[in-house]
Amino acid sequence: MQLRYNYRAYPDEPQRRALASAFGCARVVWNDCLRDRKQAHAAGLPYVKSAELSRLRITLAKRTEERAWLAEVSAVVLQQSLRDLDTAYKNFFDSIKAKRQGRRVGPPRYKSKKDTRQSIRLNTNAFRLQSDGTVYVAEVGNLKVTWSRRLPAPPTSLTVTKDSSGRYFLSFVVDTEPDILPRLEADTGLDLGLSAFAVLSDGSTIDNPRFLRRAEKKLKRLQRELSRKTRGSKNRARARIKVARQHAKVTDRRRDWHHKASTQIIRDNQAVYVEDLAVSGLGRTRLAKSVHDAGWSAFVTMLQYKAVKHSRTFAKVARAFPSSQVCSACGFRDGPKPLHVRQWTCGKCHAVHDRDHNAARNVLFEGRRIVAAGRAETPNACGAPVRRAHVPAQRVEAGSHRKGQTTQAKTPGL
């Protein structure tokens, strides 16, 4: 399986200028190639092949006065930008043909220099881990890196990212073997919520940390200061960075908490079952801020890839499954209940249920049924292989990036 490892990088001023140039060139190649394909489609012409775009928008474009500056960056950056566009188109076509699981993917869109996240991707021809602990990036130089942990294997690709707060990160993708944990008998179902982040089928509760809510007071003050600055001024730019850094702190804390909670659940259970929630729909309701603050999707994604990594069973229960309507004691369906009903009594067996605990138990039972039917994505509870899914590297790194640890003055993990 593939895992992603993120590390904080500290480029100097010339390196920051070189990276800014690389970000811009990659964006221009993406937009030029996307424009050619859109214009061909509008004119009823055939789909423009990648080889033709590479010749026109990279090789020949470098010889023109308008695009001569493309030659100042590594050719790998430009070619990878075109390959990323091809991947975006493939995902779009697979989505509309129902060949791709998950929510429907839209067509590729133009990129802007004002996007809050800028990045370039490199293969092993354009970067190298140095013996002094730095990372060489073609046409940029040796970048200083805080190695918060060792790489488990030689990396196969590198993504250099600049976030909205001005921080730089190096994200390595490595191919690793599963880290199989000792086998357990326990399994659990999770009911995700807002009052409590999750209720497990054994009755235990994971409190909701509400990182955004706790930071709202400071964010409001910083955003008020930003609104009072003159547009286009340096003071406004500095104020915007302060707001972005505060949001980045909230995101980092939430991600770190998600990793710790998901790792604990995977380590304590042989099988984990969770309901497939319609997060995008809930994000358009009055609960939107609380839903996004909880970060259910990121948490479930972590559970999923960690289950594969540690050879655990993971299954999603369909969102149409009536987990809150069925009595977990006798199976009687008691009908829908409004959100304010937190406790109810079964009309058949008269068992008294806590709403969330009952839902978690129903998710557990339904998850076991899915595994027994052979539709889980990991080995089942009996150890038999059940359609092992290939897990590509996640956009979220495999663990939290921790600042302040000593940089190892040697090639990490190799």
Q: Which of 149, 169, 150, 153 is nearest to 161 (CA)?
A: 169
| CA–CA gap between residue 108 and residue 82 (Å, rounded) | 12
pLDDT-derived band at 1 (thresholds 50, 70, 90) equals: confident
| pLDDT of residue 397 exceeding 80 | no
Q: Is the pLDDT of residue 59 over 70?
A: yes
pLDDT at 273: 96
Please tell me the predicted confidence (pLDDT) of residue 404.
40
- The reported pLDDT for the residue numbered 177 is 87
Reduced to 3 states, what is the DSSP secondary structure of residue 164? coil
What is the rounded average pLDDT of the residues 193-198? 92
- 320: pLDDT confidence band, cut at 50, 70 and 90? confident
Residue 325 predicted with pLDDT over 80: yes
Per-residue burial over 220-259, b = 16 or more CB atoms within 10 Å of its CB, e = otherwise: eebeeebeeeeeeeeebeebbebbbebbeebbbbbbebbb
pLDDT digits (tens, 9 = 90+) for 204-256: 999 999 999 999 999 999 999 999 999 999 999 999 999 999 999 999 999 99
- pLDDT for 394: 57
Considering only 109-123, 151-165, 288-302, 330-344, which range has the smallest mean pLDDT?
330-344
Residue that has been written with the tokens 């994505």 in this structure: 377
Could you tell me how many helices (H) and strands (E) the chain has, helices first? 9, 14
What's the confidence (pLDDT) of residue 280? 73
Determine the average pLDDT of the residues in 36-55.
Answer: 96
What was the pLDDT predicted at 32?
Answer: 97
Query: Looking at residue 163, what DSSP letter applies?
Result: -
**CB under 8 Å to 364, separation ≥6 — which residues?**
187, 188, 189, 201, 273
pLDDT band at residue 56 under the 50/70/90 scheme: very high
Average pLDDT over the chain, rounded to an integer: 88
Q: What is the pLDDT of residue 407?
A: 34
For residue range 282-310, list pLDDT tens digits in order. Answer: 777 888 889 899 999 999 999 999 999 99
Confidence band (pLDDT; 50, 70, 90) for 381?
very low
Phi, psi torsion values for 315, nearest 5 degrees: -145, 145
Size of the chain, expressed as the number of residues it contains: 414
Q: Is the pLDDT of residue 198 over 80?
A: yes
What is the model's pLDDT at position 398? 45
In this model, does residue 383 exceed pLDDT 80? no
Tens of pLDDT, residue by residue over 78-114, are 999 999 999 999 999 999 998 887 778 899 999 999 8
- Residue 317 and residue 193: Cα distance in Å, rounded? 15
pLDDT computed for residue 395 by the predictor: 54
pLDDT at 399 over 80: no
Q: How far apart are the first and last CA of the chain?
A: 18
pLDDT at 339: 82
Summarize the confidence of residues 128-132 as an average pLDDT: 96
Q: How many CB atoms lie within 10 A of CB 12?
A: 12
* pLDDT value of residue 347: 86
Q: Across 265-321, where does the E strand assignment appear?
A: 271-275, 313-317
**Whole-model pTM?**
0.82
- pLDDT of residue 60 exceeding 60, the answer is yes
Q: What is the pLDDT of residue 340?
A: 84
Active-site residue list: 191, 275, 356
- Cα–Cα distance measured from residue 86 to residue 103, given in angstroms and rounded to the nearest whole number: 19
Percent of the chain with pLDDT over 70: 90
